[in-house]
């Protein structure tokens, strides 16, 4: 007789919470079992979890306060190009440049709080362009959106960037742009210091574009006090330079993130968004920004328990063991395991998405990446106790990186076949 009876809600599940254990050797769980006389045995098994990959195309990237720029190539993931678009606004002080002042120069200073890709160890080239089309405050921009910009840059920069700390880089913008902004800014009839729309009408903002020869990506933190557009000038007869700082904080912006997976194991995945896709190399992939999400099918757990009678599971862990990351290609810092519907979308209850929960809490399980083991481990004991009797009807999961990272990074991982598994500890009557 199968005590689980998981296909009927009236089935009995035998869970011995007193026997929960942390070690991987069932003989060390604290039970004094003798094979010749005891009627209970302790067991451990691993079950491979079937996976596929889902492409999510509707990634919202507007009004994020972070801008991406870069070009990155991976033999399995293909090419990724990111470009950031932003307006700039008045600074903390009131715009008040004396009419008799003389223009000196203009610099764009940007705090970089994230880099990704092996090319960061070499010089990376970027350019800044004037937008020729408005960013609309009331529009939502997604990763495939783009707007027009002048192909002739107003500034360029070549940078050697650190991988482990924030840094500030700067572009010296050309004097044609600087003089145009300066002349307009000191004339209140052209730019009204009390009406930002008069600034936007003339200066629509910037596009940050990467050289296609780059093999890395950076992220600008527009919230940082180190990020600004500094306009330098002096008054006649005065040798001391003055400046006015335009800011980027809380203004309209978005990121364009384009991928080309031609010739890779993932070729064709983006032609069928939200559809289960099996890469030609049978690996499992996740990629923030690029919208690659693993899907797990937990049916084998149910099938396994259906073959065994008189048992109680003590501990269930879902492990994702990734391929060793390359230099400056870190995986997501953590994962969230969401339930999915037949359309491969996360299931929502009210304003919240449903997923694996922390026992005794409404919080979702979010296992961190453990660098020493190259893995994530999600506790799934509570979940298993709900799916076996049919209390929880959801048997498939989507693995998401952190929400912030999903839209504002390109962190990825790769998993070889067989390295996503359920690790199950259980006891059984002999």
Residue 423 lies in a domain: yes
Residue 265 lies in a domain: no
Give the distance, in angstroms, between the CA of residue 92 and the centroid of all CA atoms in the same chain.
31
Q: How many domains does the chain have?
A: 2
End position of a domain, from candidates 260, 284, 301: 260
User: Does 314 share its domain with 338?
Assistant: yes
DSSP labels for 188-238?
Answer: TTTS-TT-THHHHHH---EEEEE-TT--EEEEEETTSTT-EEEEEEE-TT-
User: Does 216 share its domain with 84?
Assistant: yes
User: Does 40 share its domain with 131?
Assistant: no
User: Does 45 share its domain with 180?
Assistant: no
Give bridge partners of residue 339 from the DSSP assignment: 397
Residue 118 lies in a domain: yes
pLDDT in tens, 197-226: 999 999 999 999 999 999 999 999 999 999
| Ramachandran bin of 171, using left for φ above 0, alpha for ψ from -120 to 50, beta for the remaining angles | beta
Residue 268 lies in a domain: no
Residue 61 lies in a domain: no
Query: Rg of the chain over CA atoms, in angstroms?
Result: 28
User: Does 50 share its domain with 124?
Assistant: no
User: Does 423 share its domain with 284?
Assistant: yes
Full residue range of the structural domain in which residue 82 is found: 66-260
User: Does 303 share its domain with 372?
Assistant: yes
Residue 90 lies in a domain: yes
As a whole number of Å, the end-to-end CA separation of the chain is 13
Give the distance, in angstroms, between the CA of residue 246 and the centroid of all CA atoms in the same chain.
29
User: Does 281 share its domain with 238?
Assistant: no
Question: pTM, whole model, 2 decimals?
Answer: 0.88
User: Does 228 share its domain with 303?
Assistant: no
Residue 86 lies in a domain: yes
H/E stretch holding 339: strand 336-339
User: Does 128 share its domain with 247?
Assistant: yes
H/E stretch holding 383: helix 381-387
End position of a domain, from candidates 260, 288, 318: 260
User: Does 249 share its domain with 379?
Assistant: no
pLDDT in tens, 24-34: 444 444 344 44
Identify the residue whose tokens are 């070499």: 122
Coil, strand, or helix at residue 327? coil
Residue 279 lies in a domain: yes
Q: Quick one: tokens of 51? A: 């996976």
| Ramachandran bin of 103, using left for φ above 0, alpha for ψ from -120 to 50, beta for the remaining angles | beta
Sign of CA dihedral 367, 362, 337, 164: negative
Neighbours of 166 (CB within 10 A): 12
Name the nearest CA neighbour of 380 among 306, 315, 297. 315
Q: Which residues of the chain have pLDDT under 50?
A: 1-37
User: Does 195 share its domain with 136?
Assistant: yes
Residue 389, Cβ density class (10 Å: 0-12 exposed, 13-18 middle, ≥19 buried)? middle
End position of a domain, from candidates 212, 234, 260: 260
């Amino acid at each position: 007789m199968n005590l689980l009876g998981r296909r009927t809600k009236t089935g009995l599940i035998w869970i011995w919470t007193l026997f929960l254990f942390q070690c991987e050797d069932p003989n060390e769980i604290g039970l004094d079992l003798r094979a010749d006389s005891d009627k209970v045995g302790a067991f451990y098994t691993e079950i491979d979890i079937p996976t596929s990959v889902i492409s999510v195309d509707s990634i919202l990237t507007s009004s994020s306060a972070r801008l991406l720029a870069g070009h990155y190539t991976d033999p399995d993931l293909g090419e990724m190009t990111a470009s950031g678009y932003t307006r700039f606004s008045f600074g903390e002080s009131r715009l008040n440049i004396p009419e008799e002042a003389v223009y000196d120069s203009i610099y764009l200073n940007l705090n970089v709080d994230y880099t990704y890709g092996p090319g960061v160890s070499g010089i990376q080239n970027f350019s800044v362009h004037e937008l020729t089309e408005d960013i609309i405050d009331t529009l939502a921009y997604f990763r495939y959106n783009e707007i027009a910009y002048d192909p002739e840059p107003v500034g360029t920069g070549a940078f050697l960037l650190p991988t482990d700390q924030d840094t500030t880089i700067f572009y010296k913008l050309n004097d044609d742009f600087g003089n145009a902004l300066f002349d307009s800014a000191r004339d209140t009839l052209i730019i009204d210091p009390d009406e930002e729309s008069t600034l936007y009408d003339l200066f629509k903002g910037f596009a940050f574009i990467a050289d296609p020869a780059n093999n890395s990506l950076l992220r600008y933190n527009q919230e940082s006090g180190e990020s600004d557009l500094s306009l330098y000038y002096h008054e006649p007869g005065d040798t001391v330079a003055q400046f006015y700082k335009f800011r980027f904080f809380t203004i309209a912006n978005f990121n364009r993130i384009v991928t080309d997976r031609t010739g890779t194991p993932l070729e064709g995945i983006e032609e069928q968004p939200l559809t289960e896709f099996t890469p030609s190399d049978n690996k499992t992939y996740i990629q923030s920004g690029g919208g690659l999400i693993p899907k797990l099918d937990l049916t084998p757990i149910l099938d396994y328990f259906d073959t065994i009678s008189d048992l109680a599971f003590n501990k269930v862990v879902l492990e994702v063991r990734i391929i060793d990351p390359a230099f400056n290609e870190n995986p997501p810092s953590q994962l969230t395991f969401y339930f999915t519907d037949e359309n491969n979308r996360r299931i929502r209850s009210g304003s919240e998405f449903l997923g694996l929960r922390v026992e005794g809490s409404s919080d979702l399980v979010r296992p961190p990446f453990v660098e020493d083991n190259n893995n994530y481990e999600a506790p799934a004991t509570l979940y298993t106790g709900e799916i076996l009797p049919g209390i929880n009807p959801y048997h498939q999961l989507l693995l998401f990186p952190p929400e912030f990272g999903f839209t504002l990074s390109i962190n990825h991982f790769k998993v070889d076949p067989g390295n996503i598994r359920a690790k199950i500890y259980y006891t059984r009557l002999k």
